[in-house]
Amino acid sequence: MARQLRIEYEGGFYHITSRGNQREKIFWDAKDRERLKTVLERTKERYGYLLHAYVFMDNHYHLLVETLHANLHQIMQNINTSYTVFVNRKYNRSGHLFQGRYKAFIVDKDKYLLALSRYIHLNPVRAGAVKRAEEFRWSSYQEYLYGRKEGALTDTDENLSFFSKQRAVAVKKYKEFVEAGIEVRTPLQDGIGSVLGGEPFRERVLKLLRITSDKAGIPEIKKIERTYEIKGIVRGVAGYYGLAEEDLIKRRKRTEGQRRIGIYLSKVLSGRRNADIGAIFGITIQAVTNVVRDVEKRREGDRRFDSELKRIKEIVGSLKQSV
The answer to which of 6-10, 46-50, 114-118, 306-310 has the lowest mean pLDDT is: 6-10
Domain ranges in the chain with CATH number 3.30.70.1290: 13-222
| 8-state DSSP, 132 | S
Q: Find out whether 130 and 124 touch, Cβ atoms under 8 Å.
A: yes
Best CA proximity match to 12, nearest among 100, 81, 104: 104
Domain ranges in the chain with CATH number 1.10.1750.10: 230-319
Q: How far is CA 312 from CA 42, 234, 245, in A?
A: 16, 11, 15
Best CA proximity match to 61, nearest among 131, 124, 145, 129: 124
pTM for the full model? 0.73
CB atoms near residue 26 (< 10 Å) = 25
The percentage of the chain sitting over the pLDDT mark of 70, rounded to a whole number, equals: 88
pLDDT for the residue numbered 253: 87
Axis-axis angle for helices 30-47, 285-301 (nearest 10)? 140
Q: What single-letter amino acid sits at 50?
A: L
Strand pairing report for 60-66 and 50-56: antiparallel
Query: For 149-178, what is each residue's pLDDT tens digit?
Result: 556 799 999 999 999 999 999 999 999 999
Instruction: Please give the Cα distance from 182 to 136 (Å, whole number).
Output: 15
Query: For 219-241, what is each residue's pLDDT tens digit?
Result: 444 444 445 788 889 989 998 99
Query: For 125-134, what is each residue's pLDDT tens digit?
Result: 999 999 999 9
CATH of domain 13-222: 3.30.70.1290
Tell the CATH superfamily of the 230-319 domain.
DnaA protein, C-terminal DNA-binding domain (1.10.1750.10)
Q: How far is CA 293 from CA 190, 245, 286, in A?
A: 39, 23, 11
